[in-house]
Amino acid sequence: MIKKLLSIFSGLLITSTVFSQTQNVTFQVDNPLSANVYVFGSWSGWSNWPGDLMTDSNGDGIYDKTLPIASGSVEYLYVSVTATDTIKEGLNPAWLCTNGNGQYTNRTLTVGSSAITVCNNWASCSLCGEVVVPYVNVKFQLQNPTASPVYVFGSWSGWSNFPGTLMTLNTSTNLYEASVSVQGDSTIEYLYFAGPDTTKEILDPNASCTNGNGQYTNRLSMIGTNDTTICAQWQTCTACTPTGIQDLKVSDVTVLVNTNGIRVNSDFYSKFNQLQVFDAIGRSIYSDVNGLVSNSNIPVQLQKNTVYFIRLKSNDKVFTFKKVITN
């Protein structure tokens, strides 16, 4: 579009022409769910669902579509049409490549003064050719909340689903539990709410399990690339402890630890159904539910001067050891 502007300078009437800039933007997506993939965006007023059809003209597995788009900020996402369904890519509003909107989570892009190409991996903030970090399942477990219902609320949802994910009571462990899927190799923040009034737990920002923020004090955990369990007591950094269980006698079982592993010694029990190792803030370091033989070494990498809780189970009997490697 061309606009005529009139201005007066030094007594002269000057006519100038301003061009409303439109740039060619090439969208590319790798690994969509089907060969029928579309790019759908705000430049159309979201009016042409499922969007503009993309093609893989050179057979490299990356689908392309070039569109003329006015300079400025736009939102978009990719849509895959299979034999049975039309599926939008699932984006997390906590990701930096999105608009942060928990209800309508779209990618964002700034179109400048020249043509650009953007190549995305399907349902990821990673660019084409980058290694895609997989999602992992995180099981949250909470002990001793003040009341029910209980929720876990965190950054993985962009803080958009208050009061969070409902937790259910596991009657065998007396722990409230909920599992969520988060991006692996990332840091998450979260906290728990409890009771009909959705009361938020109060945490000390100086505590080791928090983000240290005096105004918005949340729990903080670093997530690796494997499924994990985080178990803690309400309003503290203390890890969960067994409740309502029949303890083994200390004389029946002993546990030895070093930086290279764990050894469970017992003349009374020949094997155990389960071994779990947690750190001081309730993160799962090791878990074996396939059974282990007593008086044998279990290779687990542990660190010096670190508190570990080792939980053993033999049928209906459970016992927890607190261990620190000092040398």
- The closest alpha carbon to 78, from 16, 19, 136, 29, belongs to 29
Burial state string for 268-301 with b = 16 or more CB within 10 A and e = fewer than 16 = ebeebbebbbbbbbbbbbbeeeeebebeeebebe
SS3 218: coil
- pLDDT value at residue 13: 47
Which of 14-23, 24-33, 224-233, 275-284 is predicted least confidently?
14-23
- pLDDT value at residue 191: 96
Q: What tokens appear for 320 in the block? A: 């927890």
Written in H, E and C, the secondary structure of 117-147 is EEEEECCCCCECCCCCCCEEEEEEEEECCCC
Provide, rounded to the nearest whole percent, the portion of the chain with pLDDT above 90. 40
* Token pair 């964002």 in the structure block, residue: 108
Per-residue pLDDT tens digits for 108-155: 999 999 999 999 999 888 889 877 677 788 999 999 898 899 999 998
Maximum mean pLDDT: which of 90-94, 196-200, 275-279: 196-200
- pLDDT value at residue 242: 61
* Class of domain 22-121 (CATH, top level): mainly beta
Binned at pLDDT 50, 70 and 90, residue 2 comes out as: very low
* 254-324 CATH, one of 2.60.40, 1.10.1760, 1.10.3470, 3.40.50: 2.60.40
Alpha carbon 215 to chain centroid distance? 23
- Mean per-residue pLDDT, 27-40: 94
Location of each CATH 2.60.40.10 domain in the chain: 22-121, 135-233
Which of 65-69, 169-173, 230-234, 310-314 is predicted least confidently?
310-314
Whether the pLDDT of residue 70 is over 90: the answer is yes
Taking the C-alpha atoms of residue 215 and residue 212, their distance in angstroms, rounded to an integer, is 9
Neighbours of 242 (CB within 10 A): 16
Binned at pLDDT 50, 70 and 90, residue 248 comes out as: very low
Whether the pLDDT of residue 281 is over 80: the answer is no
Whether the pLDDT of residue 8 is over 70: the answer is no
Q: What tokens appear for 233 in the block? A: 């007591």
- pLDDT value at residue 18: 44
- Mean per-residue pLDDT, 279-290: 74
Strands 116-121 and 22-30: parallel
Binned at pLDDT 50, 70 and 90, residue 37 comes out as: very high
Q: Phi/psi at 318 (nearest 5 deg)?
A: -135, 140
Taking the C-alpha atoms of residue 282 and residue 302, their distance in angstroms, rounded to an integer, is 15
CATH number of 135-233: 2.60.40.10
Structural Rg of the chain based on CA atoms: 27
Check whether the bond before 163 is cis (ω within 30° of 0): yes
Per-residue pLDDT tens digits for 216-239: 999 999 888 888 899 999 999 888
How many alpha carbons fall within 13 Å on the CB side of residue 173? 16
Whether the pLDDT of residue 165 is over 50: the answer is yes
Q: What tokens appear for 38 in the block? A: 């579309």
- pLDDT: which is higher, 278 or 88: 88
Strands 2-9 and 52-53: unpaired
- Say whether pTM exceeds 0.85: no
Average model confidence (pLDDT) across the chain: 84
Provide, rounded to the nearest whole percent, the portion of the chain with pLDDT above 70. 88
Whether the pLDDT of residue 271 is over 90: the answer is no
